[in-house]
């Protein structure tokens, strides 16, 4: 299987030709609102549980997925062909959404979010057509940690928008203006490689969860302690089917009593029970689980990678 994949991969690479590496690559977000030199706000759509923003890159219009679980910017090979295969490098791009080995690495000389210029960002070029097919979208790529880390990132599931505000090396926002809405709590996290790791509690058991905007479902490691599994109430068995036709059965249900701080705790969250050992490899750290869409749906969350802090903004009471 592996050989076949490599073969296909190479065949694909060889047949490619494309844009010159010398051109600056510009990505623009036609729907973005520029608030200041340092801050921009981009509306998103939820496609199933994925956060998707519209963008234009190299004369192509399409979508990008916001994915804190991905280490780099990923471009969809279907739409961005690369010229030379010799800069191939071994790198694992990870995330609940995407774990693919040996992507072809490219370096974007400039990656521009409207007026915000990001230089020398690495990007991986990977075939993402399976996501296009399953989500029925025109997908240009995935925006990951190496883009997001330079900003304070406000993921707002109430107003369906993501606000990017540039920070300095210490994590201080360059935009002097604060947030207009009330911040109700702050929680520290640890950045392990590119992964946001949160300490959470279920009853008094400490658990390490990764936070991943592109995890459509929360995941809990099968091999976690029995005391914790007592708070997982399975409701059904799910058959996950892969593109290769392989099937795997997982247990889906609700995870109760997840607490983040004295003030922040979560309503029962839909969770699947999986073997996270391979995931841990991808995340570059050992985790008891992954929090994704359900987390962001319940909390309007601001991520500051440099300060390793999460801030939570009050959800309006009258939920529409």
Partner 1 sequence: MKPIIKHILISLIALATWISSAQTDKGYRFEGNYVVFTFNKFDYEKFYHDSSKEKIKFEDLDVDNVVVAGEFNNWSKYDWEMLRVNETTYELRKHINDFKDEFTWEFKFIINNQYWAEPSEYDSNIKLAAIKGSHLNVYNLKMDTKAAIPDKKGNVSFRLKGYEDAKRIIVSGSFNRWNEDDFKMYKVENGWELKLDIKPGEYEYRFIVDGYWIEDPSNPSKNTNEFDEYNSYINVGKYVTFSLKGYANAERVILTGSFNDWNESDIEMEKVDNGLWSLRLPLPAGKHYYKFIIDGKWMLDPDNPIKEYDGQGNINSVFMVR
**Spatial CA neighbour of 288 closest among 187, 197, 167, 160:** 197
- At a CB cut-off of 8 Å and minimum separation 6, what does 9 contact? 102
Per CB under 8 A, the list member of 58, 252, 285, 308 interacting with partner 1 is 252
If the CB atoms of residues 198 and 282 are measured against partner 1, the closer one turns out to be 282
Nearest-angstrom CA–CA distance, 10 and 4: 10
Query: Total number of residues binding partner 1 (CB under 8 A)?
Result: 75
If the CB atoms of residues 33 and 188 are measured against partner 1, the closer one turns out to be 33
163 beta partners: 41, 154
The stretch among 17-25, 153-161, 199-207, 220-228 that binds partner 1 (CB under 8 A) is 153-161
Q: Binding of partner 1 at residue 203 (CB under 8 A)?
A: no
Q: Binding of partner 1 at residue 233 (CB under 8 A)?
A: yes
If the CB atoms of residues 84 and 239 are measured against partner 1, the closer one turns out to be 239
For residue 76, the minimal CB distance to partner 1 (Å) is 10
For residue 164, the minimal CB distance to partner 1 (Å) is 14
Q: Binding of partner 1 at residue 98 (CB under 8 A)?
A: yes
Residue ranges in 45-84 that form contacts with partner 1 under rule CB under 8 A: 45, 48, 61-62
Retrieve residue 70's tokens: 């991905």
Per CB under 8 A, the list member of 27, 52, 125, 131 interacting with partner 1 is 131
Q: Could you tell me if 296 and 154 are in contact, meaning their C-beta atoms sit under 8 angstroms apart? A: no
Element (H, E) at 271: strand 269-274
For residue 109, the minimal CB distance to partner 1 (Å) is 26
**Spatial CA neighbour of 66 closest among 99, 93, 38, 44:** 44
Per CB under 8 A, the list member of 22, 182, 204, 226 interacting with partner 1 is 182
Residue ranges in 293-312 that form contacts with partner 1 under rule CB under 8 A: 294, 297-298
Residue ranges in 262-281 that form contacts with partner 1 under rule CB under 8 A: 265-270, 274, 278-279, 281
Nearest-angstrom CA–CA distance, 128 and 91: 16
Residue ranges in 100-129 that form contacts with partner 1 under rule CB under 8 A: 100-101, 129
- At a CB cut-off of 8 Å and minimum separation 6, what does 95 contact? 67, 68, 69, 70, 71, 142, 144, 212, 214, 215, 282
For residue 305, the minimal CB distance to partner 1 (Å) is 23
Q: Could you tell me if 290 and 218 are in contact, meaning their C-beta atoms sit under 8 angstroms apart? A: yes
Q: Binding of partner 1 at residue 149 (CB under 8 A)?
A: no
Per CB under 8 A, the list member of 23, 84, 134, 203 interacting with partner 1 is 134
If the CB atoms of residues 69 and 197 are measured against partner 1, the closer one turns out to be 69
Q: Give the CA dihedral 137, 142, 148, 153, nearest 10 degrees.
A: 20
If the CB atoms of residues 35 and 308 are measured against partner 1, the closer one turns out to be 35
289 beta partners: 209, 220
Count of alpha carbons within 13 Å of 235, Cβ hemisphere only? 9
For residue 77, the minimal CB distance to partner 1 (Å) is 14
In angstroms, what CA-CA distances link 267 with 46, 201, 213?
21, 13, 18
If the CB atoms of residues 114 and 309 are measured against partner 1, the closer one turns out to be 114
């Amino acid at each position: 299987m592996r050989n076949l994949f490599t073969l296909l991969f190479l065949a694909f690479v060889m047949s490619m030709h494309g844009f010159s590496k010398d051109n600056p690559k510009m990505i623009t977000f036609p729907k973005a609102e520029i608030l200041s030199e340092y801050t921009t706000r981009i509306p998103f759509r939820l496609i199933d549980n994925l956060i998707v923003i519209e963008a234009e890159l190299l004369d192509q219009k399409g979508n990008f997925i916001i994915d804190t679980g991905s280490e780099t910017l990923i471009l969809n090979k279907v739409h961005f062909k690369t010229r030379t295969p010799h800069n191939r490098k071994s790198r694992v791009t990870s995330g609940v959404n995407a774990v693919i080995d040996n992507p072809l690495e490219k370096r974007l000389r400039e990656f521009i979010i409207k007026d915000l210029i990001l230089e020398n960002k690495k990007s991986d070029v990977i075939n993402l057509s399976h996501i296009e097919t399953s989500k029925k979208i025109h997908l240009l790529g995935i925006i990951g940690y190496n883009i997001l880390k330079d900003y304070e990132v406000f993921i707002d599931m109430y107003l369906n928008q993501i606000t990017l505000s540039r920070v300095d090396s210490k994590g201080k926002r360059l935009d002097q203006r604060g947030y207009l809405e009330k911040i109700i709590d702050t929680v520290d996290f640890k950045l392990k490689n590119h992964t946001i790791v949160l300490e959470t509690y279920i009853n008094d058991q400490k658990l390490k969860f990764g936070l991943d905007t592109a995890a459509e479902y929360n995941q809990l490691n099968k091999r976690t302690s029995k005391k914790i599994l007592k708070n997982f109430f399975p409701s059904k068995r799910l058959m996950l089917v892969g593109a290769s036709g392989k099937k795997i059965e997982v247990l889906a249900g609700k995870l109760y009593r997840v607490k983040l701080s004295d003030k922040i705790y979560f309503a029962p969250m839909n969770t699947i029970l999986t073997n996270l050992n391979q995931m841990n490899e991808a995340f570059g750290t050992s985790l008891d689980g992954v929090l994704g869409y359900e987390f962001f749906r319940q909390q309007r969350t601001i991520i500051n990678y440099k300060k390793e802090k999460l801030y939570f903004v009050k959800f309006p009471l009258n939920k529409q």
